[in-house]
Amino acid sequence: MRSRREIDKNELFMYNCGRIPEKPKKGNSMADDWRLTNQELYLMGKTLYYIRYRNFSEEWDHEHCDFCWAKFSEYDGDLHEGYCTEPENARGACWICPECYNDFKERFKWRLGQSK
Ligand SMILES: [Zn+2]
């Protein structure tokens, strides 16, 4: 049986990866960038893989950057490569565009994994 703590962590992960970002609140001095919405709760210190976006199922043909909501897909006009929490795209994986990666890599202490 899974511990309660483990379940909470998974729920938080699912919640954050599928969320619509909230608009920044005026006068909120805690958030120094509108893209930051508590991603440190599930992305702090993560290993990320720079990979090419590929559909992993027919029903799901795109992903969004977890910070700025930029779109990844196999279509023209969208991002085709980025930083992913998995070595290949999978359900529940979080994606981060190159721009946000560069802006937040020190703050989030990300490590780069070797993708195949
Ligand atoms: Zn981004």
Q: Give the model confidence (pLDDT) of 23-82 as tens digits.
A: 555 554 445 899 999 999 999 999 999 999 999 888 889 999 999 999 999 999 999 999
pLDDT at 21: 55
C-alpha 69 to ligand 1 mean position (Å): 6
Cα gap 113→116, rounded to integer Å = 10
pTM score of the predicted model: 0.72
Q: Please, are residues 50 and 115 in contact by the beta-carbon 8 Å criterion?
A: yes
C-alpha 51 to ligand 1 mean position (Å): 15
C-alpha 27 to ligand 1 mean position (Å): 23
**What is the helix, strand, coil percentage profile of the chain, to 5?**
25, 20, 55
Residue 18: φ, ψ to 5° = -105, 15
C-alpha 101 to ligand 1 mean position (Å): 7
C-alpha 68 to ligand 1 mean position (Å): 4
How far is C-alpha 55 from the geometric centre of its chain's CA atoms?
A: 16
pLDDT at 4: 56
| CA within 13 Å, CB half, 84 | 22
Q: Please, are residues 25 and 60 in contact by the beta-carbon 8 Å criterion?
A: no
Residue 22 has pLDDT above 70, yes or no: no
